Amino acid sequence: MRLWRISSVTLNDATLRLARGDLRPSTGQSWYSSIRHIRVKAHPHSEFADLDWVSGPAGRYSVDWNQGFGGNFVVGKGYRPGGDIRIVNYTGTFRVSGRAYLALYGWTTNPLVEWYVIESMGVHNPSDNSNATCYGTLESDGGTYEVWMKWRINAPSIIGDADFQQFWSIRTMRHVGGTINTTRHFEAYRKAGLRLGRHNFLALAIEGQQGNGAANITVGVAPSTAVPQSTTSRTRTEVPVRTNTCLPKL
Q: In angstroms, rounded to a whole number, what is the distance separating the alpha carbons of residues 48 and 85?
A: 38
Question: Does 47 qualify as catalytic in the annotation?
Answer: no
Q: What pairing do the DSSP bridges indicate for beta strands 4-11 and 32-40? A: parallel
Which bin fits 84, alpha (ψ -120 to 50), beta or left (φ > 0)?
alpha
Tell me what pLDDT residue 21 has.
32
Domain presence at residue 123: yes
Domain presence at residue 124: yes
Tell me what pLDDT residue 150 has.
94
Tell me what pLDDT residue 188 has.
97
Domain presence at residue 102: yes
Domain presence at residue 179: yes
In Å, what is the CA distance from 8 to each residue of 39, 73, 125, 233, 250?
Answer: 9, 10, 25, 30, 36
One-letter amino acid of 13 = D
Catalytic residue among 114, 146, 187, 238: 114
Single out the residue of 91, 132, 231 nearest to residue 173, CA to CA.
Answer: 231
Domain presence at residue 207: yes
Q: In angstroms, rounded to a whole number, what is the distance separating the alpha carbons of residues 40 and 32?
A: 24
Phi, psi dihedral angles at 189 (to 5 degrees): -60, -45
Give the CATH number for residue 126.
2.60.120.180
Q: In angstroms, rounded to a whole number, what is the distance separating the alpha carbons of residues 219 and 89?
A: 6
Tell me what pLDDT residue 240 has.
58
Domain presence at residue 211: yes
Catalytic residue among 119, 187, 207, 238: 207
Q: In angstroms, rounded to a whole number, what is the distance separating the alpha carbons of residues 203 and 195?
A: 20
Tell me what pLDDT residue 6 has.
29
Tell me what pLDDT residue 34 has.
52
Domain that holds residue 192: 4-231
Domain presence at residue 69: yes
Per-residue pLDDT of the chain (250 residues; tens, 9 = 90+): 333 332 333 323 233 333 333 333 233 334 455 554 444 444 444 445 677 888 888 888 898 888 777 777 888 888 877 777 788 999 999 999 999 999 999 999 999 999 999 999 998 888 888 788 999 999 998 999 999 999 999 988 888 899 999 999 999 999 999 999 999 999 999 999 999 999 988 889 998 888 899 999 999 888 888 787 778 776 656 555 555 568 889 9
Tell me what pLDDT residue 2 has.
34
Contacting residues for 87 by C-beta, under 8 A, at least 6 apart? 179, 180, 181, 182
Q: Where are the alpha helices (DSSP H) in the chain?
A: 182-191
Tell me what pLDDT residue 236 has.
59
Question: Does 187 qualify as catalytic in the annotation?
Answer: no
Phi, psi dihedral angles at 47 (to 5 degrees): -95, -15
Domain presence at residue 247: no
Number of folded domains in the chain? 1
